[in-house]
Amino acid sequence: MQERLQELQTEAIQKVDQAAGLKELNDIRVAYLGKKGPITEVLRGMGKLSAEERPVIGALANEVREAISARIEAKQSELEEAAVQEKLAGESIDVTLPGRPVNVGSHHPLTKIIEEIEDLFIGMGYEIAEGPEVEQDYYNFEALNLPKGHPARDMQDSFYITEEILLRTHTSPVQARTMKKHQGKGPIKIICPGKVYRRDNDDATHSHQFMQIEGLVVGENIRMSDLKGTLDVFAKKMFGQDREIRLRPSFFPFTEPSVEMDISCKMCGGHGCSVCKQTGWIEILGAGMVHPNVLEMAGYDSKKYTGFAFGMGPERIAMLKYGVDDIRHFYTNDVRFLKQFAIEE
């Protein structure tokens, strides 16, 4: 009987060691240690043994049972650990694989230009002012020295909603509103970006809706030289330190004197090329000293206060800066066009 028990132990341990999986291991447990297993059978036959033999065989049977049980437990942990490792290996991530591309939007080129101009003027102490796009005739024209019937009103074909209300044709009404709000007191330093509307037929250089950025400075002793210095800083920061500016006499009803500002052509360095139409200069914006009538209408003493104003088109600046040849590209939302501006961000 002792031999039989020894044999069972050797046999069981051998099988446990060879077990390939948890199920097989469980089968071995049932086969050797179960109620119908050979060890239980040995113990059942103990009644036939003598009183001396019985405790010896009983103790041995327990030893064998415990040895097999311990071996099964050890094997079980081993198999479980292997299963976990296998699962982890299957789920491992190769960090060297390239990621899936994500489509990211980008700022619209006009937004970028406007933000760049805003940052530049905020750096010079300006504030940003905004006003309504549906505007009163008074602020859009009358307060800017353009009374009803003034021939210069024809320079800006307008979308009228009623006789007194229209879509603003420029951002200048924000000037008039800001000056009125300051009740005849200075100083004012603002820029006003926004949409404006004109009855134009859309083509490569015209759009019925476009953007403007207006600038206004009002204070004591504001002179033409202040305007020129400001525009020079703007042109150099926006287009490059090597750019020159020149002011040409012009006419706007709300400024006196009025000027147009040109910058030297980057393409040809001022020698003349197709971009600058052989002149060496490119027109950028209109400006001038605020007309005394405009100051007076807003409640300022034009003998004490002076000011300058300038207005520019972000589309034109973006076209020059990025080499865009058709203003309509900014409004047709062609992703192939817009995507080109994502690269710089």
Comparing CB distances to Zn ion, the nearer of 233 and 273 is 273
Please choose, out of 129-137, 229-237, 263-271, 323-331, the segment that lies near Zn ion by the rule CB under 5 A.
263-271
Q: Which of 190, 245, 259, 265 binds Zn ion (CB under 5 A)?
A: 265
Count the residues of the shown chain that bind Zn ion, applying the rule CB under 5 A.
6
Taking the complex as a whole, how short is the minimal distance between the CB of residue 213 and Zn ion, in angstroms? 24
Taking the complex as a whole, how short is the minimal distance between the CB of residue 265 and Zn ion, in angstroms? 3
Q: Which of 268, 296, 331, 338 binds Zn ion (CB under 5 A)?
A: 268
For Zn ion, the binding residues in 189-228 under the rule CB under 5 A are none
CB 129 within 8 A of CB 178: yes
Q: Is 72 in the site for Zn ion (CB under 5 A)?
A: no
- Name the one residue in this structure whose structure tokens are 């080499």: 323
- The kind and range of the H/E element at 193 are strand 188-197
Please choose, out of 22-30, 78-86, 229-237, 267-275, the segment that lies near Zn ion by the rule CB under 5 A.
267-275
Q: Which of 276, 290, 312, 319 binds Zn ion (CB under 5 A)?
A: 276
- Of 115, 128, 308, whose CA–CA distance to 230 is shortest? 308
Q: Which long-range contacts (CB under 8 A, 24 or more apart) does 154-160 make?
A: 156/198, 157/198, 157/199, 157/200, 158/197, 158/198, 158/199, 159/197, 159/198, 159/199
Taking the complex as a whole, how short is the minimal distance between the CB of residue 278 and Zn ion, in angstroms? 8
> Which structure tokens are listed for 53?
């033999």
Closest residue to Zn ion, based on beta-carbon distance: 265
- Of 161, 225, 200, 224, whose CA–CA distance to 313 is shortest? 200
Q: Is 19 in the site for Zn ion (CB under 5 A)?
A: no
Total Cβ atoms within 10 A of residue 107: 15
Comparing CB distances to Zn ion, the nearer of 185 and 277 is 277
Alpha helix segments (H runs only) across the chain: 2-18, 22-33, 38-44, 53-91, 109-122, 137-140, 172-181, 224-239, 292-297, 314-322, 335-338
> Which structure tokens are listed for 30?
């049932």
Cα dihedral: 331, 337, 339, 342 (round 10): -80
Q: Which of 224, 267, 324, 338 binds Zn ion (CB under 5 A)?
A: 267
Please choose, out of 93-101, 113-121, 151-159, 266-274, the segment that lies near Zn ion by the rule CB under 5 A.
266-274
Instruction: Say which residues have a Cβ less than 8 Å from residue 50's Cβ, sequence separation at least 6.
Output: none
Please choose, out of 130-138, 150-158, 199-207, 257-265, the segment that lies near Zn ion by the rule CB under 5 A.
257-265
Comparing CB distances to Zn ion, the nearer of 4 and 266 is 266
Cis peptide before 257 (omega within 30 of 0): yes
Taking the complex as a whole, how short is the minimal distance between the CB of residue 263 and Zn ion, in angstroms? 11
Please choose, out of 43-51, 274-282, 294-302, 326-334, the segment that lies near Zn ion by the rule CB under 5 A.
274-282
CB 230 within 8 A of CB 124: yes
Please choose, out of 121-129, 138-146, 251-259, 273-281, the segment that lies near Zn ion by the rule CB under 5 A.
273-281
Q: Is 273 in the site for Zn ion (CB under 5 A)?
A: yes
C-alpha–C-alpha distance, residues 248 and 126, integer Å = 25
Taking the complex as a whole, how short is the minimal distance between the CB of residue 270 and Zn ion, in angstroms? 7
In the complex, the residues that contact Zn ion under the rule CB under 5 A are 265, 267-268, 273, 275-276
